[in-house]
Chains A and B, each alone.
Chain A
């Protein structure tokens, strides 16, 4: 029983990470109708940069995490401005360009960082006894808390701030919002940067627990996409529910069925959603 609960908690931690990674995809899809296929690479860069800054440059771990997320955010702004903006209105080209970008970044990461998994230093040590049932690593608990904090911050940003109002206005009717004076190009750019930064923060938070490698980026992207389809394209609530569901199912599946096939559960869910409820849990029915 306590073993089962531990796998469940593992799933919850992974679910939080899945949720912030998927929020990054969903935010961009909702506003720009663009899927960033280089999403997984942003996650990997988040983890690697935080490792390099902490171990290579000797910067305190918390600061190195923040710096790596900020760097990926700036990278995201540049990508939007130079590569995504010229494709507006042509969905196919944005898909092709971000796919090419993912191949470039993946190969660049292999050359720069090498193929070996890296693990940035943990922020906290030791373990806590959960309700007297099992011991659970503090770093994992901290990751869950950080993920929850980021989810809360994004929800606040979208629901309560001027930026969030512009985001919602644009995703409802871009032309109308632009006519009413919303600087839609700027909102696009910031949202895309934010999407990349969310992926990077997911990578930086999880890397001390599950090391990152350049070849792992495909699976990361795929997980985020499955969560977004499961939750409903463009729905932020859906990302949280979808992220946790997928995290729990993958962990239980890997524990009780097969570790090699961990990522297959996600694909089965994707097909199941497309068959039964293609608009997702919280999406709008088309």
Chain B
């Protein structure tokens, strides 16, 4: 039953580009980017209970590393994206190594700081990044085709999700949840809680770098909006509204919110305010999100 459901979703995902026009195909590609972002953020927040505010910043690291390597060094985007992923992972390891042992609050504060600083640097180093004007970078394919991009994003997203699922079902995944549920009990049963958290934070940051690199080469114009706190909030809202700590939650949240934000595009300035209010109500009254609500209704029947 579950397998048939997954196969159905997969089939729909493959057929999507043949039914959508160019505009909605673009929306579908952006949703896949957000699926990667929200799922990998969920890996640390939902599964190990640490809140990073630098997820969008790491996507920015990926996008700017790969974009600038391609533009100034002529490096092929495929290599550039790998370099961006590694750099995001290394920065994550460094930041996490400094503050995770001090507790969750420190990680949140430091990542918030990192996020602001990265935005300031990108905005000010205009000769390299063109600041808020945005930097034009080459795409992945020599011939521009949204369908190609869609399949590239779909393949990477699926690989991403399979990898995450494997990780969560392994002993490491068990350690993640042990750290979340009871830190003391986890450490007395021989789990190095700091190492587990650091590992989760580093891999999640690297994943954000990968997603950001792809996103940059798809848009072909990267701006300091990619590593902004507004973007960070969108990712957080997707995970919270969809359901943190569940595998499907952030995926559903990302697709739902991205499509919804296209429908309410005309109310541009109210858009973040509206998502904020919805996310606040969900976080306050239904902390397990839409997936949690659905399960509750299902069980009552």
Contacts and interface: CB of A to CB of B under 8 A. Distances in A.
Interface of A: 29, 33, 35, 37, 82-83, 86, 91-93, 95-97, 99-101, 103-104, 107-108, 110-111, 218-219, 221-222, 225-226, 229, 233, 260-261, 263-264, 266-267, 270-271, 274-275, 278, 286
A107 B104 contact: no
Interface residues of B, number: 40
A266 B233 CA distance: 23
A243 to B, nearest CB: 16
B106 A229 contact: yes
A260 B123 CA distance: 10
Contacts of B109: 35, 225, 229, 270
Contacts of A111: 269-270, 273
Contact of B110 (A99, A233, A260, A270): A270
A100 B104 contact: no
B283 to A, nearest CB: 5
A221 B112 CA distance: 10
Nearest to B275: A103
Nearest to B48: A92
A69 B114 CA distance: 30
Contacts of A110: 269
A109 B113 CA distance: 22
B39 interface: no
Contacts of A96: 45, 51, 236, 240, 283
A198 to B, nearest CB: 18
B124 A260 contact: yes
Interface in B94-121: 98-99, 101-102, 104-106, 108-110, 112-114, 116-117, 120-121
A107 B113 contact: no
Nearest to A97: B283
Interface of B: 45, 49-51, 53, 98-99, 101-102, 104-106, 108-110, 112-114, 116-117, 120-121, 124, 229-230, 233, 236-237, 240, 269-270, 272-273, 276-277, 279-280, 283-284, 287
B51 A95 contact: yes
Contact of B116 (A93, A101, A218, A233): A218
Contacts of A218: 116, 229
Contacts of B114: 267
A92 B180 CA distance: 10
Contact of A95 (B105, B116, B284, B287): B105
Contacts of A261: 120, 124
Contacts of B287: 93
Main secondary structure of the interface of A (DSSP, over half): helix
A95 B240 CA distance: 12
Nearest to B104: A91
A274 B106 contact: yes
Nearest to A92: B49
B82 to A, nearest CB: 27
23 contacts: A29-B105, A35-B109, A91-B104, A91-B105, A92-B50, A92-B104, A93-B287, A97-B284, A99-B53, A99-B233, A100-B236, A100-B279, A103-B272, A104-B273, A104-B277, A111-B270, A225-B113, A233-B105, A264-B117, A264-B120, A270-B110, A271-B98, A278-B101
A111 B274 CA distance: 12
A286 B102 contact: yes
Nearest to B46: A92
A65 to B, nearest CB: 28
Given A92-B104, A222-B116, 13 more contacts: A91-B104, A92-B45, A96-B51, A101-B280, A103-B233, A104-B280, A107-B270, A218-B116, A225-B109, A266-B113, A267-B114, A267-B116, A278-B102
A250 to B, nearest CB: 13
A176 B236 CA distance: 36
A263 B117 contact: yes
A266 B276 CA distance: 28
A268 B130 CA distance: 24
Contacts of B269: 107, 110-111
Given A219-B116, A261-B124, A108 B104 contact: no
Contact of B276 (A92, A93, A104, A222): A104
Contacts of B105: 29, 33, 35, 91, 95, 233
Contacts of A266: 113
Contact of B283 (A93, A219, A260): A93
Given A92-B51, A104-B273, A218-B229, A225 B112 contact: yes
A155 to B, nearest CB: 24
Top-9 shortest CB links A-B: A104-B276, A107-B273, A274-B98, A95-B51, A260-B124, A267-B117, A103-B233, A225-B109, A103-B276
A221 B236 CA distance: 19
B245 to A, nearest CB: 10
Nearest to A86: B284
Contacts of A107: 269-270, 272-273, 276
A271 B106 CA distance: 11
